[in-house]
Structure formats: structure tokens, C-alpha cells
Amino acid sequence: MKFTGSTAKSMEIKVDLATGLIAGYPTLERNLSYMKNMFHDGKAYDSLLAKGDVRVYDFFDLKRPVNDRELACGTSIVYPGKVGDEYFMTKGHFHEVLDTAEVYYCLSGHGFMLMENPEGDWEVGEFVPGQAVYVPGRYAHRSINVSPSEPLKTFFCFRADAGHDYATIESKGFRKLMVEKNGEPAIIDNPRWK
Ligand code: MN
């Protein structure tokens, strides 16, 4: 239905639940080559990449003005797969405005949000359809898909001027990693953490 008020500043954000796509917004595509040094098993990474630069995740960011009164939101889709024993995941980031929180709502799939702060505290939130994970300020966050077959789709929302700090994760990694052990997700120390 269409109703028009006097201000008309609202938006309807149509997420295709089957694909996770938001019509009218470009996809930012992240392939395996973009994830260099993110997975702990470098040999497994190289041999998988040699077979093809597969898609690891996509995200859609609705272009909102960057200020502290706007909300940035969109969807993230992490595809199923593993590099060695480590599940496909997003690169992960801190917010440039470090103490900015964020909410991720799981639309479909099964996965986890790995979170850790600069002091080394870490937490894991589970993604199942209908469940949201509230990421507190100061915590880097990374979505991990543990399903062998289904994409993990989430809808995120955060203060629009928070910014993204990927460089810290690119140089140091996360302290913890999620791998498959005896067929189950498990948390291990990152042997490459600096
Ligand atoms: Mn974020």
C-alpha cells in the first residue's frame, strides 16, 4: 500500500528472504582472494584459491548520510564453505568510532557472531532465524556460517557515522577462531594472532 505524509523521509527496505538481496542496491562482493591471511590454514587457503576465487560473502549497505543522527543498515550474506577446518566468514571489523554498537538480525541460516574487544575479552552470539545479536560498542565483530549448505543471511543496523576499521583485523586477526572439530563448531586460539 502507498500512503504519503508531508515529510516523506521514510524508506521501505525490501529484503528478498530467499536470496538476502535488497532490490535497487549494489552488492559488495567479497571473494576468497579478498580474505588473504584471514584463515589460519594458509596451505588450505592457497589450494582452495587455486581451484577458483569463490564468493565468500556479500553485503548491501543502504547509502544513508554519514552523521550521528542517521542509521546505516543492510544485509550480509555469508556463503557456506570452509578453508581447511575453518568456516567461511566475513573479514570482520572494529568501528572507527570504537564504542558504537550494532545489531544483526538473522533472517535465515545458522551461524555465529564472534566478538572481541581490544583488551581481549571475547564473546560469541548464535545466529538462528529470528534471533538477533547485539554487538556492544568496542567489540570487533565477524559473522561465521557453520551450515554446510545454506547461506547465512543477516540484517544489520548501526549508527551511520561509526565507520569501519578493517586494518586492525587485517594486521592482527581475531584472537579466537571458529573451526569445525568432530563435526561441531569449536572456538580455538588463533595461532597467527599478533
Ligand atoms: Mn559493524
C-alpha–C-alpha distance, residues 94 and 176, integer Å: 15
- The predicted pLDDT at position 194 comes to 79
CA of 123 to the centre of ligand 1 (A): 15
CA of 156 to the centre of ligand 1 (A): 8
Average pLDDT, the chain: 93
pLDDT tens sequence across 70-109: 999 999 999 999 999 999 999 999 999 999 999 999 999 9
pTM, whole model, 2 decimals? 0.94
CA of 1 to the centre of ligand 1 (A): 32
CA of 166 to the centre of ligand 1 (A): 10
- The predicted pLDDT at position 80 comes to 98
- Count: domains in the chain: 1
Show the domain range for 164: 28-189
Q: Domain for residue 22, yes or no?
A: no
Q: Domain for residue 7, yes or no?
A: no
**CATH code: domain of residue 116:** 2.60.120.10
CA of 33 to the centre of ligand 1 (A): 21
- The predicted pLDDT at position 24 comes to 78
